[in-house]
Amino acid sequence: MTISRRHFSHLAAASTAALAAAASTARAQGSGGNPSVKWRLTSSYPKSLDTLYGAGPSLAKIVGEMTDGKFQIDSFAGGEIVPGLQVLDAVGNGTVECGQSYAGYYIGKNPAFVFDGSLPFGMTPRQHYAWYTFGGGKALIDELYDSSGVISINMGNTNGQMFGWFRKELKTVDDLKGIKMRVAGFGGKVMAKLGVIPQQIAGGDIYPALEKGTMDAVEWVGPYDDEKLGFHKVAKYYYLPGVLELEANNGFYINKAAWAALPPHYQAILRSACAATLLEMMASYDAKNAKAVGSLVAKGTQISVLPPEIIKALRKALEEVLDEEAAKSDQFKRILASWRPFRNEQHRWFSLADARTEMAVYTQSQ
């Protein structure tokens, strides 16, 4: 996933001084009641990606309902205040009080952010939240955001994604060599090991590049979002399984000073509101993707399955990339030491239980 950078800031950024003043107003109204607080939320997404962007307005609505309208959050799309990939900085430096984004966008700043977003051959949403809540993940992730001046709360997830759109069929690992593919972050590092030339281009620029043939393939999200961007018109093969992203966790980022200035019951309200938006986004993607995949097939898309040889090579590449990053960063190494055994244990359990049950049930549903 990434977002269009074509819209640039056109609204004045709130100064950190103004932010501090607003925070002290909130404090001054004392505990026990519901003080008036007004925040701006900057999103990584354009409004057209309604499921991702929609989590911001949903959160604002829920928080408003829980505070009798006293805690107001105004949502802005990527580019309206700051570009979509600068949400972490904008929240950390107090340009805005809060934002919504995907941690995978910040692996250039620190590769360890990938553990809060999604990893190839990684965890599903449920496995991720099991690690986060009961496997020691939260403390490690909090430390990661703390150094950027941000508190992050999980607020959304795309669920499992597709492997991507290709203009040509993939038969062997060699077919990947030299392919120019739009693929975000860690997925790009893994694909590069197999000879793919990863491209980091904005959402709105992908379609023309595929059409002109200057790009050969794209990984974006899943049927509902992909159909909106029109990839089925210029690439025939829609590959699965989506081993590059079994999820994409989204975070609600809060400026540390703004968070500290909130009364404790408002902090608790934000935490629960994020749980509600997270469940809503997951339900929304599952409902929409199940319909959109049928629509794409009706329009001529060829659903295709990756050869096992390619999946095996990708898995090997992923583990190599993880070890390389761990050798470069102590923080990455510490998180990996918690994440990897937890992932392996979850994979063993799900291969016996939920995933096996699902396949047994779906086979009977055909």
Q: Which residues inside 278-297 make contact with a copy of itself, applying CB under 8 A?
A: 278-280, 282-284, 286-291, 293-294
Residues 193-222 that bind a copy of itself (CB under 8 A): 222
End-to-end CA separation in angstroms for the chain: 31
The verdict on 36 binding a copy of itself (CB under 8 A) reads no
Residue in the block written with tokens 């829920």: 62
Q: Are 141 and 157 in contact (CB under 8 A)?
A: no
Taking the CB of residue 363, how many other CB atoms lie within 10 A of it? 8
Contacts of 177 (CB under 8 A, 6+ apart): 194, 195, 196
User: What are the φ and ψ backbone dihedral angles of 253, each rounded to 5 degrees?
Assistant: -95, 135
Computed over its alpha carbons, how large is the radius of gyration of the chain?
A: 21
Q: Which is nearer to a copy of itself, 8 or 362 (CB)?
A: 362
Question: Residue 156, exposed/middle/buried by CB under 10 A (0-12, 13-18, 19+)?
Answer: buried
Member of 50, 237, 276, 334 binding a copy of itself (CB under 8 A) = 276
Count of chain residues binding a copy of itself (CB under 8 A): 82
Stretch that binds a copy of itself, among 11-19, 89-97, 107-115, 235-243 (CB under 8 A): 235-243
Q: Which is nearer to a copy of itself, 237 or 350 (CB)?
A: 350
The verdict on 38 binding a copy of itself (CB under 8 A) reads no
Member of 179, 183, 210, 273 binding a copy of itself (CB under 8 A) = 273
Residues 297-326 that bind a copy of itself (CB under 8 A): 303, 306, 311-312, 315
Residues 119-158 that bind a copy of itself (CB under 8 A): 121, 124-127, 129-135
Give the whole-angstrom CA distance, residue 363 versus residue 366.
6
Residues 327-346 that bind a copy of itself (CB under 8 A): 344-346
Cα separations in angstroms, 320 against 195, 247, 317, 339:
15, 21, 5, 15
Q: Which is nearer to a copy of itself, 65 or 330 (CB)?
A: 65
Give the whole-angstrom CA distance, residue 275 versus residue 133.
13
Member of 24, 147, 214, 357 binding a copy of itself (CB under 8 A) = 357
Residues 62-91 that bind a copy of itself (CB under 8 A): 62, 65-68
Q: Which is nearer to a copy of itself, 84 or 242 (CB)?
A: 242
